[in-house]
């Protein structure tokens, strides 16, 4: 049952919400803006309604996976299902394993695992985005802050290690953004 839950969570994570929203509008979102299927690129190219739907859909995928793991066994299965959803979003089977940068799906996972920590990271994301104008910088800072929130809030050790792993994946997925930030060519919010 645990293996099936992880596979289902991966498939849930693989649902390319942003891509599907683009197809409804008759475009392949991967050919616009950053080429990413995530919330920011959808928002910039399809507008705030589509961007909000992408955010809710991608966040919901992560939350649903954690709840599935909790219902079917809890503990380590929650973490495995959450990680599977993140992997599905980042490397979706339906799009040739080229997906999003895990921030919204990761938010959903952490809302299920540690809602206070997730909300603190979300607040930090908002502060950084407002102060700097860079969504990518806010996303990186929020992801890297999650292990700290887990530690400060006394979350279980496995949650701390899980948050460290997710932070590493998030930073890895944002390497092109980091290069653009350092070069001064990263796009700011409009």
How confident is the model over 41-50, as pLDDT tens digits?
A: 999 999 999 9
Would you kindly state where each structural domain of the chain is located, as residue ranges? 2-183
How many Cα atoms within 13 Å fall on the side-chain side of residue 107? 23
The reported pTM is 0.94
Tokens for 180? Answer: 């653009």
pLDDT of residue 34: 86
* Contact present, 46 and 25 (Cβ < 8 Å): yes
pLDDT above 90 for 143 = yes
pLDDT tens digits, 58-81: 999 999 999 999 999 877 999 999
How many Å is the Cα radius of gyration of the chain? 16
């Amino acid at each position: 049952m645990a293996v099936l839950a992880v596979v289902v969570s991966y498939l849930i994570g693989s649902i390319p919400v942003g891509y599907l929203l683009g197809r409804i509008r008759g475009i392949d979102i991967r050919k616009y803006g950053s080429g990413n299927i995530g919330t920011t690129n959808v928002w910039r190219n399809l507008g705030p309604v589509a961007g909000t739907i992408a955010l809710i859909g991608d966040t919901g995928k992560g939350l649903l996976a954690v709840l599935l793991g909790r219902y079917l066994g809890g503990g380590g299965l929650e973490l495995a299902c959450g990680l599977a959803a993140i992997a599905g979003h980042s490397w979706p089977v339906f799009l040739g394993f080229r997906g999003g940068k895990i921030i919204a799906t990761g938010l959903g996972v952490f809302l299920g695992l540690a809602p206070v920590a997730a909300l603190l990271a979300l607040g930090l994301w908002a502060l950084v985005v407002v102060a700097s104008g860079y969504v990518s910088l806010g996303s990186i800072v929020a992801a890297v802050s999650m292990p700290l929130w887990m530690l400060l809030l006394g979350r279980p050790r496995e949650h701390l290690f899980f948050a460290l792993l997710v932070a590493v994946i998030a930073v890895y997925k944002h390497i092109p953004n980091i290069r653009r930030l350092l070069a001064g060519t990263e796009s700011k919010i409009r």
